[in-house]
């Protein structure tokens, strides 16, 4: 797809480029671009779509960064794709959900992480059906048809343990291994799990440069730092100003199928 975009006669791709100025109205916009060497180019266009994506939250909690066996969901994807020796040796894997999401400073749900973790857990089960897998969650939000993989995970023996916001799991290193302690809300007792890897389902966060785009294109942002549509139901991909649209994670956390339909 990248190749076909790069080779398309009607598409110009500018990489390593900054937008310096934006002028005009719908159907007749111009913007000034500057490349890495400072060389400026002016581009005329009729409409603009802001689709600059989002980022993954880098946790300060759960010992992230202090042990190589503590991963983020995207790191685990890489391990799975490369089928690493470490992964093949894993006998127990733990996932902690809502890391950085649904907190006072980031009250929104990141929407993709429940599905992502369950999907990864099922892949680990395929690699090693005997692997013990625990998913520690606050709520499972596998909405729509994603509910099917939640059901499948339950059937395949992946264990789900619910924790409370005010009694989060604790992670410590014990005799060279990671130990996760969590209060199981069903039996009302703390459970200790010694694990080989711990995957943190970290929040989707807005990009730092969103405020730059917001000022350049005169478009609104939400309190969470994503871009705000004109009307959530009637104009869900338009900005309030004519000729400007938003798509994907720039607009807020969403799964790839939702971004594609936008
Ligand atoms: S999708 Fe699940 S893990 Fe992610 S923030 Fe929402 S409830 Fe938490």
Average pLDDT over residues 4-12: 96
Architecture per CATH, domain 2-54+205-261, reads as: 3-Layer(bba) Sandwich (3.50)
The per-residue pLDDT for 3 is 96
Average pLDDT over residues 99-103: 98
First-to-last C-alpha distance (Å) of the chain: 18
The per-residue pLDDT for 183 is 96
Task: Give the residue, out of 56, 102, 224, with the most ligand 1 atoms within 8 A of its beta carbon, to mutate for a pocket test.
Answer: 102
Mean pLDDT of the chain: 96
Is 71 a residue whose pLDDT tops 90? yes
Q: Decide: 103 and 85 in contact? Cβ < 8 Å.
A: no
Is 248 a residue whose pLDDT tops 90? yes
Nearest partner of 213 among 16, 38, 50, judged by Cα: 50
Strand duo 28-35 + 17-25: pairing:
antiparallel
Task: Give the residue, out of 98, 142, 258, with the most ligand 1 atoms within 8 A of its beta carbon, to mutate for a pocket test.
Answer: 98
Is 12 a residue whose pLDDT tops 90? yes
Whether 158 lines ligand 1, by a CB cut-off of 6 Å, is no
Q: How far is the CA of 118 from the centre of ligand 1 (A)?
A: 11
The per-residue pLDDT for 205 is 98
Average pLDDT over residues 199-207: 98
Is 249 a residue whose pLDDT tops 90? yes
Is 2 a residue whose pLDDT tops 90? yes
The per-residue pLDDT for 95 is 98
Dihedral sign of CA atoms 167, 119, 257, 245 in order: positive
Pick the CATH number of 55-204 from 3.40.50.2300, 3.10.350.10, 3.40.462.20, 3.50.50.60: 3.50.50.60
Residues β-bridged to residue 246: 50
Is 26 a residue whose pLDDT tops 90? no
Whether 114 lines ligand 1, by a CB cut-off of 6 Å, is yes
Is 166 a residue whose pLDDT tops 90? yes
Is 176 a residue whose pLDDT tops 90? no
Domain with CATH 3.50.50.60 in the chain: 2-54+205-261, 55-204
Is 175 a residue whose pLDDT tops 90? no
DSSP H or E stretch at residue 99: strand 92-99
Average pLDDT over residues 216-243: 94
């Amino acid at each position: 797809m990248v190749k076909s975009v790069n080779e398309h006669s009607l598409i110009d791709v500018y990489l390593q480029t900054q937008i310096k100025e934006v002028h005009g109205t719908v159907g007749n916009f111009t913007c000034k671009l500057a490349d890495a060497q400072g060389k400026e180019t002016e581009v005329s266009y009729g409409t603009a779509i802001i689709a600059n994506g989002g980022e993954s939250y880098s946790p300060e909690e759960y010992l992230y960064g202090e042990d190589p066996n503590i991963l983020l969901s995207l790191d685990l994807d890489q391990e799975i794709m490369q089928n690493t020796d470490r992964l093949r040796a894993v006998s127990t894997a733990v996932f902690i959900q809502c890391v950085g999401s649904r907190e006072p400073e980031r009250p929104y749900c990141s929407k993709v992480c429940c599905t992502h973790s369950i999907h990864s857990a099922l892949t680990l089960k395929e690699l090693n059906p005997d692997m013990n897998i625990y998913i520690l969650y606050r709520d499972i939000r596998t909405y729509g048809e994603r509910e099917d993989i939640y059901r499948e995970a339950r059937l395949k023996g992946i264990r789900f343990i619910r924790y409370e916001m005010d009694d989060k799991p604790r992670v410590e290193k014990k005799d060279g291994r990671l130990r996760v302690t969590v209060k199981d809300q069903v039996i009302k007792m703390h459970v200790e799990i010694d694990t080989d890897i711990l995957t943190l389902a970290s929040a989707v966060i807005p990009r730092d440069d969103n405020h730059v785009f917001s000022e350049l294109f005169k478009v609104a942002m939400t309190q969470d730092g994503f871009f705000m549509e004109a009307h959530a139901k009637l104009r869900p991909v338009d900005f309030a100003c004519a000729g400007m649209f938003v798509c994907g994670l720039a607009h807020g956390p969403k799964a790839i199928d939702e971004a594609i339909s936008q």
